[in-house]
Structure 1
């Protein structure tokens, strides 16, 4: 039996919240536990409701979604956050993901893709979006990269997986490449997130760039 996912919706527009509820209600394992209309309310409701997943609008009154995401992830790093927006402004989306969000959904994109995407988010199996990857490259192109971090505690296998994640491979592709099970890949990813105190695959890629793992890629 699949475990239920507790979801909170954060958006200041009632129609947008209703639309998201309609989509989420199509999946029996998704359980909407609450709603919030501002960034501050989102932070408060997270503490009260302890959702597994938050759908967070970027443009909110009083505290925008990026800042609310940063505050929530600093206190509750295990809560997954997906930004939901009408704009595909890569700067805002990249900042949100740097602040800990696991991914993003565009409101005008086909809604049939939402549920598979959110399930992949919950399984830590969403490959890095190409525009986001390009933004990472641009951010670090003018920085001196550390050639190698000999002090990190990563195993050889974890370093391999870190590099493959940073190159945009999914869990299934990593499993095939390394000839190990997807379950083993997930366990290694879980260890990577814990050891490096990171929240998502983009932050793993950022770490890989910063520490020179991709210098020969």
Structure 2
């Protein structure tokens, strides 16, 4: 994990150790320290998830670091910020999850384990914010001036677009069904159609596909 506050690092390390299921391989105060720790680690050491404080340098959000790290590991962004621009920026950069520092212990541990298993984790309060950001813009189509990619070219029905945006925003299939006024089985059918049309698999890929349709996957 990377956080420039020693107390925060020790707290997270203790919390994860207490689960008996998660091993903290390295705790660093900066990206540079993390890189050194990764180089010095035993060959067998696995960096399955990197928990990264988005503003650990005290300046701009470290979206470049998210993009670099996401190339080799799953990145769970942890931040005091719940601003849509930060959440969207981190996910576009390749993060597999975003959790605020207001989350309780159980939610944080669940997020780490979800990301480690290849899933996508998002703090519950952020789901509505992200869905609001995705909804109108995604429905409007690609941003003018951008070349459409495979994800944006694929034809999705209005209900499939709505399903994609809600799933990408962190809602479960059951929650999506309630919001859309359909059965859970219907939502699952929509999801299968979306995956087939966009040629994607897990929830993290669904999220990035929704953002790509919004107008690009690069950092904002």
Relative to the length of structure 1, the TM-score reads: 0.64
Listed one character per residue, the Cα deviations across residues 71-114 of structure 1 (whole Å, up to 9, x for unaligned) are: 112x31xx211111122222122211110111222222222322
Larger fraction in helix = 2
Instruction: Could you tell me which runs of 5 or more consecutive residues in structure 2 were left unpaired when the two chains were aligned.
Output: 177-182
131-140 vs 109-118, which moves further = 131-140
**What does residue 5 of structure 1 align with?**
none
Of the candidates 198, 205, 208, which is equivalent to residue 210 of structure 2? 205
Question: What count of residue pairs does the alignment treat as equivalent?
Answer: 190
Larger fraction in strand = 1
When residues 22 and 171 of structure 1 are mapped into structure 2, their CA distance, relative to the original with a 3 A threshold, is farther
When residues 209 and 32 of structure 1 are mapped into structure 2, their CA distance, relative to the original with a 3 A threshold, is same
1:119 equivalenced with 2:127 (yes/no): no
Q: Which runs of 4+ in 1 moved over 6 A?
A: 148-154, 160-163, 172-175
Listed one character per residue, the Cα deviations across residues 165-192 of structure 1 (whole Å, up to 9, x for unaligned) are: 4332536778942597xxx97xx69x61
Distance in 2 separating the partners of 1:97 and 1:132: 11
Pairing 1:69-80 to 2, within 5 Å after superposition = 69-73=66-70, 75-76=71-72, 79-80=73-74
Instruction: Could you tell me which runs of 5 or more consecutive residues in structure 1 were left unpaired when the two chains were aligned.
Output: 1-8, 212-217
Of the candidates 10, 13, 22, which is equivalent to residue 5 of structure 2? 13
Q: Quote how far apart the aligned CAs of 1:151 are.
A: 9.5
Q: CA RMSD in A?
A: 4.4
